[in-house]
Structure 1
Amino acid sequence: MAWNRSSGQSLAGQLEARLGEPVGDVSLTLAKVAGGTGPLNIPNQLRGVSAQWIVLDGGANDLSGKCEAAEYTPILERLISKDGARGAIPALVSDLRGRGARVIWADYYTAPRYAGTGCEAPYDMLEERLARMAAADAGVTLVDMDAVFTPDDLTLFASDRMHPSPKGSALMADQIAPLLVR
């Protein structure tokens, strides 16, 4: 979420432009949901945050480079159980919901770096689990970025072929902004 912040074109910056209202942003690159310390831990970033809506994602840095089932399965289990009810992600979402926030979880797109490789599997499983979590709570919406991102369109990606370009952040904001005004 923090990508493109220096140019004012991060997801939060793009949402602010579309909504015409201030959008807070506590995200940091390299942060993890079930790992990371201090501000590089997403639950720590959100400690004390109170808002009507919270848009977030997470898990990619936890799973990064883990392409074999033996490597990613224990990480997925720590993040979110198969039924979507337990793990660091549901605990974080439950905490935010307990504060009165509605949550939009921006699910990942397939990055060109991983497209067509075994590294897609853990992200597909993560999405399935996130969908189960969202289905169990009307205050949680899952936005599947794979529905609009294609790994073949390199204009959507930064030069690392993984993070969004400003155009990619704008596309994400196009999917999320209408949900915030209902």
Structure 2
Amino acid sequence: MKHVILLSLLLVLAACGRGVPDQARIVVAGDSVMAWNRSAGASVADQLEARLNEPVGDVSLPLAKVMGGAGPLNIPSQLEGVRVAHVVVNGGANDLTNCDCGQCGPVLNRLISEDGTQGAIPALVADLRRRGSQVIWADYYTSPKYAGTACEPRYKVLEARLGRMAARDAGVTLADMDDVFRPDDLTLFAADKTHPSAKGSGRIADLVAPLLSR
């Protein structure tokens, strides 16, 4: 019953989310890293909008997955029918939550192959590119909760594979959040030491904003 209530609350959140304004040329999609601080008007999309002085769509949602998840809890479904100049997207962490940190190879392979050409992430990116969108894939930062643990290496593997994917297409850019985050700077993180604080969401917006003029 608790899971049903949680899903219902998330779907209500999705319905009340920012959505995609008709005139938007940029849409943010993905999981809770993107959606965090929305209630305070300080999510990544909110802060991009303020920096760029233009409308920015936002379809991101906590608990969203690249593989699985129903409706807006599935990241490809979030972007169904979206045709804009730029899509800023992340994902994969929630897909990896149910695998043991040392046994994530099969899930990683389903997300993205070692050479970056196959899997759910390249399929999503290829679909967006066919629609004419430039894609910025925002790779995860290292959070205080996971820094130095056995879980950290799986994200390094994911990052390397995403880099190979992006290198194959000039219309795809990998934005590494570790470039603007430090796990020992707790001001960048929410109280759970996993999600970004409003300042952290601002750092992500600062990382992404210069890439949106390409």
User: What range is the shorter-chain TM-score in?
Assistant: over 0.9
Which structure carries more relative contact order (alpha carbon 8 Å, separation 6+)? 1
Partner of 2:68: 35
Paired residue for 1:25, among 51, 58, 69? 58
Q: Which structure has the greater CA radius of gyration?
A: 2
**RMSD in angstroms over aligned alpha carbons?**
0.9
TM-score norm. by structure 2 comes to: 0.83
Give secondary structure in 2 for the equivalent of 1:36. coil
CA distance, structure 1, for counterparts of residue 201 and residue 99 of structure 2? 25
Relative distance call for 1:112 and 1:67 in structure 2 (3 A) is: farther
User: 2:185 matched to which residue of 1?
Assistant: 153
- 1:24 Cα deviation after fit: 0.2
Separation (CA, whole Å) in 2 of partners of 1:66 and 1:33: 15
- Once the 2 structures are TM-superposed, how far is the Cα of residue 121 of structure 1 from its aligned partner? 1.0
**Structure 1 residue ranges without an equivalent (≥5):** none
1:66 Cα deviation after fit: 3.5
Q: Does 1:167 align with 2:209?
A: no
- Amino acid corresponding to residue 187 of structure 2 in structure 1: T
Task: Tell me if the contact between 1:65 and 1:119 (Cα under 8 Å) persists in the aligned partners.
Answer: no
SS in 1 for 2:87: strand
Does structure 1 conserve the Cα–Cα contact (< 8 Å) formed by 2:87 and 2:133? yes
> 2:177–2:204: 8 Å Cα contact kept in structure 1?
yes
TM-score (norm 1): 0.97
Aligned length: 181
What are structure 2's unaligned runs of at least 5 residues? 1-33
Identical residues among aligned pairs (%): 68
Preserved contact between residue 67 and residue 122 of structure 1 (Cα < 8 Å): no
Deviations 1:2-60 (A, max 9, x none): 11100110000000000000000011110000121221000011001110000000001
1:100 aligned to which of 105, 109, 132: 132
Match of 1:136 among 157, 165, 168: 168
